[in-house]
Amino acid sequence: MKISVIGTGYVGLVTGTCLAETGNDVVCVDIDELKVKRMQEGEVPIYEPHLDVLFERNINAGRLTFTTSLAEGLEHGEIVFLALPTPEDEDGSADLKYVLGVADEIGKLITDYRVIVDKSTVPVGTSDKVREAIAKNAKCDFDVVSNPEFLREGFAVDDFLKPERIVVGSSSPRATELMEKLYKPFVRSGNPVIIMDERSAELTKYAANSFLATKITFMNEIANFCELVGADVDKVRIGMGTDSRIGKRFLFPGIGYGGSCFPKDVKALHKSGKDSGYDFQILESVIDVNQKQKTALIPKIRKYFGDDLKGKKIGLWGLAFKPETDDIREAPALYIIEELLAAGAEVTAFDPEAMENVKRKLGDAIAFAPGMYGAVEDMDALVICTEWSVFRNPNFSMVKDLLKAPVVFDGRNLYDVEEMKSRGFHYESIGRG
């Protein structure tokens, strides 16, 4: 099938590449000329495992091309995905200026039937707005459908190629048929393409992400309470999670959720509720608790060293908001660094992928170590913010020897508490005594 993808951010790029991988002829459109030029030369502009291989293969096969011309994109694709940014407005709602701006142009440019697919995470009712914006100028038939993505950073290629489910909001049989044909190769295992109305599809995305954020936040509160009453959250987690109604996943406590989706989506759903006269109290608490949780290690560090951290050298492992990504948006590490610096500490950090992004944001406010052990050498303590696999089983005796004193604050519960004690560490984590 002939497909176009407007916007080559994270979602657009993964969508375009994976659709090309299944034999479609894909044109990706972006207004950023430099980025388009680089992609034409085969450079993947984001870090995402396995994307580079698929990217190169499909460019070489001529199934994946790039242009800055929206007209060209609309001429090419019978199905046109909108994967445009929906940044958070000052009041927490999703800003639709990019989506509606392109929708305006689409109406002027299409000359033949097109299915316009909202792939961006957009508030309930956006598909109606997009339809209206296109209809103002359109001289031919078109349909607008909602098709939210459920891609996890670090696993996006796998999530796209082997989805648990695909949600399509469509009230047009013609568009539904095309979408089902497009997605057929992805659901051969029997996983469903769930067809519903556009508004329900739009809300499904917000509801799923807000539920997962709530699940994590609930567990973070249980962890905080465990510390007060001397319970072990790891045991509670396993005890709870084996109930199939609860499930084992997304129950891991830590220093809060971050990234480009959960924080933005929870806030946007809360704001949408407000706009419609509904007070999502549970989401308000999730937002507040998560914000506090990001710096949950700070009181522990202060209790150990005292409030004044002047002259203290703190090593930090992990800057990305989670492993397998270089994304630092809403990363807990940034909030921890801010507090550590404000208290007078010096910070030296290591992350396998995210150091460049942090360097760009913080300049030389902190130092960066070329390897993980460099962020330990001569430090008063080690603080762990992201659970990268390389941190899971370090050379403990080397860590102990390199640190000035064997002190570890772990925001991701990577190690066994008793083992750390027997190795001679002062070890503090989340919700485990």
Name the residues that contact ligand UDX, by CB under 6 A. 149-153, 209, 216, 250-252, 254, 257-259, 261-262, 321-322
8-state DSSP, 186: G
Told to judge if 385 belongs to the known catalytic residues of this protein, a careful annotator would answer: no
Which amino acid, one-letter code, is at 331? Answer: A
Closest approach, Cβ 263 to ligand UDX, in A, equals 9
* Measured CA angle at 155 (ends 152, 158), to 5 deg: 115
- Smallest distance, ligand UDX to C-beta of residue 107, A: 29
Between 163 and 406, whose beta carbon lies closer to ligand UDX?
Answer: 163
Active-site entry in 18, 226, 261, 385: 261
Q: What is the DSSP string of 233-301?
A: HHHHHHHHHTSTTT-STT---SS---SSSHHHHHHHHHHHHHHTT---HHHHHHHHHHHHHTTTHHHHH
Q: Is 82 annotated as ligand-binding? A: no
Tell me which residue of 80, 103, 100 sits closest to 27, measured CA to CA.
Answer: 80
Least distance between ligand UDX and beta carbon 143 (Å)? 24
Strands 313-317 and 381-384: parallel
Distance CA 165, CA 160 (A): 10
Q: Which is nearer to ligand UDX, 49 or 374 (CB)?
A: 49
Pick between residue 57 and residue 152 the one whose CB is nearest to ligand UDX. Answer: 152
The answer on whether 107 is annotated among ligand-binding residues is no
Whether 153 has a binding-site annotation, put simply, is yes
Give the distance between the most distant pair of CA atoms in the chain. 75
- In the complex, the smallest distance separating the C-beta of residue 258 from ligand UDX, rounded to whole angstroms, is 4
Measured from the CB atom, the residue of 206 and 368 that comes closer to ligand UDX is: 206
Where helices occur in 110-165 by DSSP H, the ranges are 126-135, 156-161
**Annotated binding-site residue? 378:** no
Distance CA 80, CA 27 (A): 9
Q: What's the rounded Cα separation, in Å, for the pair 406 and 180?
A: 57
Q: Is 250 annotated as a binding residue?
A: yes
Q: Where is 54: in which H helix or E strand?
A: helix 51-60
Residue 188 is assigned to a ligand binding site: no
Residue number, 84 or 216, with CB nearest to ligand UDX: 216
- To ligand UDX, the closest distance from the beta carbon of 136 in angstroms equals 31
Annotated binding site for substrate: 150-153, 205, 250-254, 258, 322
Binding residues: 30, 35, 86, 121, 150-153, 205, 250-254, 258, 264, 322, 329
Which residues are identified as catalytic? Answer: 261
Binding-site positions for NAD(+) read 30, 35, 86, 121, 153, 264, 329
